[in-house]
Amino acid sequence: MITAGDFRNGKTFEFEGNVYQVVEFQHVKPGKGAAFVRTKLKNVITGGVVEKTFRPTEKVEEAHIEKKNMEYSYSDGDLYYFMDQETYDMLPISKDQIGDALKFVKENMVCMILSYKGNVFGIEPPTFVELQIVETEPGFAGNTATGATKPATLETGATIQVPLFIDNNELIRIDTRTGEYMERVKG
């Protein structure tokens, strides 16, 4: 058990039958009345965000989220298969559980599988990935407005905005948290 006074960003706990992660918290001590903790919480299963207020002495059950690195192997219809790198066991995960977390992930990439009490609820791809551009319009000389971008389709099928100087078959680095182009990859 932990108290609301112990909340920190990233802390996970069970409350009202759900598992929440603290996104933001603020200890408030008004001039009159009792202190309280104002929080913004993310439901780790559904992804919904709620705001709740707790008394600092209020107790909640701490939830332990298991994180495990697994290698994405292949997809078969609506199932995606991940391999445990220690036991070589295959773990099938449905498309509903993954959402669009794999739009920047190709086969043989290692992802973080998040589970609670054995139930997988999320996947974290690597923070930065290197992917090849398979289709984009050519950039033209004189088309050099500051910060101008164009759409590009990646080898995973995802579409992102890239600078005008990027061509087909180039390898680029992408930040998977934002889906933004970072830089060209040499070699």
pLDDT digits (tens, 9 = 90+) for 132-182: 999 988 876 555 556 788 899 999 889 999 988 888 899 999 998 888 999
- Superfamily (CATH H level) for 128-184: Nucleic acid-binding proteins (2.40.50.140)
pLDDT digits (tens, 9 = 90+) for 84-95: 989 989 989 888
Same fold, 66-124 and 128-184: yes
pTM given for the model: 0.69
Ranges of each domain in the chain: 2-62, 66-124, 128-184
The CATH code of the domain at 66-124 is 2.40.50.140
Q: Which two tokens stand for residue 79?
A: 């199932």
The CATH code of the domain at 2-62 is 2.30.30.30
